[in-house]
Homo-oligomer: A and B are copies of this chain.
Amino acid sequence: MGMIDKQSPVPIYHQLEEKIKKRIETGELMPGDALPSEREYAEQFEISRMTVRQAITNLVNERFLHRVKGKGTFVMEKKMEQPLHGLTSFTEDMKARGLQPSSSLIHFEIIPASSDLADKLGINEHGPVYEIKRIRLAEGIPMALERTYISANLVQGLTEDIVKDSLYAYVENVLNLKIESGIQVIEASTSNAEERKYLEIAEADPILLMERTSSLEDGTRFEVVKSSYRADRYKFMIDLKR
Contact = CB atoms under 8 A, between A and B. Distances in A.
A149 interface: no
A152 interface: no
Contact of A77 (B78, B87, B218, B240): B218
A213 B240 CA distance: 10
A235 interface: yes
A190 B206 contact: yes
A237 interface: yes
Nearest to A86: B240
Contacts of A235: 185-187
Contact of A80 (B213, B238, B240): B213
A213 to B, nearest CB: 7
B206 A189 contact: yes
Interface in A186-242: 186-190, 204-208, 212-213, 215, 217-221, 229, 231, 234-242
A241 B186 contact: no
Given A87-B242, A181-B63, A207-B206, A219 B31 contact: yes
Contacts of A188: 188-189, 206-208, 229, 231
B219 A183 contact: no
Interface in A2-21: none
Given A182-B240, A189-B206, 20 more contacts: A74-B218, A76-B218, A77-B122, A78-B122, A86-B241, A86-B242, A87-B241, A181-B241, A183-B237, A184-B237, A184-B239, A184-B240, A186-B208, A186-B236, A188-B188, A188-B207, A188-B208, A189-B231, A206-B207, A212-B240
Nearest to A181: B241
14 contacts: A61-B61, A66-B180, A66-B217, A83-B183, A83-B185, A86-B240, A86-B242, A180-B242, A181-B242, A183-B237, A184-B238, A187-B235, A188-B206, A190-B205
